[in-house]
């Protein structure tokens, strides 16, 4: 009879989650947060613009998030910006938040997951999400939510395969612009 080892090992003292010998999550050093934030907010702004936000509304959205989630550029205590490591390679970033739902401190949220382009297609996004689940669960989490951009079918398929189900779907249509001659 083969010995079955747990898929994850959670080191709550060091704040790291391990998947076998391959994937581990560790808090991003504070010295790296500013550079990460700059890239993250640019990417988020580009996504907002792509789905129809004006520059002004995208900027206001980002400013609102920055004020709510960070203090002087440092993540609030409920924000967990984690580096995703495979052996000695940093392959991505996973940003989780505790207490996402008002009145439910055990409801966690995935603000962002990025596997760097050169490391995609190897299953590390899936493993990072599973490690994120275990990370949140080891800290009392009972639910995990996320949003996915409508055009990102690869991510949506991944999340559905991991057991995430749609709760609400926001749909948008641009109106009032020239649509060409309909006669």
178 is a domain residue: no
In this prediction, residue 99 carries a pLDDT of: 86
174 is a domain residue: no
Query: What is the tens place of the pLDDT at every residue in 146-180?
Result: 999 988 999 999 999 999 999 988 888 878 865 55
In this prediction, residue 29 carries a pLDDT of: 96
CB distance 34 to 74 below 8 Å = no
56 is a domain residue: yes
In this prediction, residue 12 carries a pLDDT of: 46
Partners of 145 in beta bridges: 109
16 is a domain residue: yes
Query: Which residue positions in the chain have pLDDT lower than 70?
Result: 1-21, 101-102, 177-183
**Rounded Cα distance, 162 and 128, in Å:** 11
Tell me the whole-structure pTM to 2 decimals: 0.82
In this prediction, residue 14 carries a pLDDT of: 46
173 is a domain residue: no
| Token pair in block for residue 145 | 């939510």
In this prediction, residue 102 carries a pLDDT of: 65
In this prediction, residue 179 carries a pLDDT of: 54
- Number of compact structural domains in the chain: 1
88 is a domain residue: yes
In this prediction, residue 104 carries a pLDDT of: 83
166 is a domain residue: no
- Domain limits for position 111: 8-161
51 is a domain residue: yes
Q: Determine the distance from the C-alpha atom of residue 26 to the mean position of all C-alpha atoms in its chain, rounded to a whole number.
A: 14
CATH number at residue 64: 3.40.630.30
Q: What is Dmax (Cα atoms) for the chain?
A: 75
CB distance 129 to 95 below 8 Å = no
């Amino acid at each position: 009879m083969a010995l079955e080892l747990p898929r994850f090992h959670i080191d709550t003292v060091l704040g790291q989650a391990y998947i076998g010998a391959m994937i581990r999550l560790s808090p991003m050093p504070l010295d790296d947060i500013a550079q990460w934030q700059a890239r993250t907010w640019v990417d988020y702004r580009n996504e907002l613009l792509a789905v129809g936000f004006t520059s002004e509304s995208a900027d206001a959205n980002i400013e609102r998030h920055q004020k709510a989630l960070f203090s002087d550029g440092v993540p609030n205590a409920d924000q967990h910006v984690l580096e995703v490591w495979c052996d000695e390679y940093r392959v991505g970033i996973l940003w989780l938040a505790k207490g996402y739902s008002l009145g439910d401190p055990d409801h966690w949220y995935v603000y962002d997951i990025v596997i760097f382009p050169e490391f995609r297609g190897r299953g590390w996004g899936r493993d990072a999400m599973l490690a994120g689940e275990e990370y949140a669960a080891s800290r009392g989490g009972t639910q995990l939510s996320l949003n996915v951009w409508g055009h990102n079918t690869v991510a949506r398929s991944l999340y559905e395969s991991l057991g995430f189900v749609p709760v609400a779907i926001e749909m948008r249509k641009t109106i009032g612009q020239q649509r060409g001659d309909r006669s």
